[in-house]
Structure 1
Amino acid sequence: MNSTRLIILAVSVKRKNYCVAGKKWHQNQDEIWLRPVGNSLPDGNDALTSREIQYNSHRIPSTLDLVDIQFLRSANHSVQSENHLIDTAFKWEKKGTYPVEKLSEILDTPATLWFVNREGTNSKMGINDCFPTNLLNGQTNSLYLILINELTIHLTHEEDFYGNNRKRYRGSFNYNGVNYKLSITDPNIYSEYGQLQDGEYNYGKCYATISMAPLEDNGNCYKFLAALFKFKV
Structure 2
Amino acid sequence: MTQEIKRKLTRQKLIDKGYELINTYGYHAISIDTIIKEVNLTKGAFYYHFENKHHFVEAIIEERMGKEIHSNFIEPLSERGNPVFILTDLLQEKLINDKSLKKNLGSPLINFIVDLSYEANDYDLQLKLKDIMNEWKVALINFLYRGIDDGYLSRHINTEPVAEFIISSLEGARTMKRVTNDNSIFYNYIEQFKNYLDTLKATNEATGVHRYQLVS
Instruction: Tell me which protein shows more helix as a share of its residues.
Output: 2
Larger radius of gyration: 2
State TM-score, norm by structure 2.
Answer: 0.20
State TM-score, norm by structure 1.
Answer: 0.19
Instruction: Tell me which protein shows more strand as a share of its residues.
Output: 1
Structure possessing the higher relative contact order (Cα contacts under 8 Å, 6 or more residues apart): 2
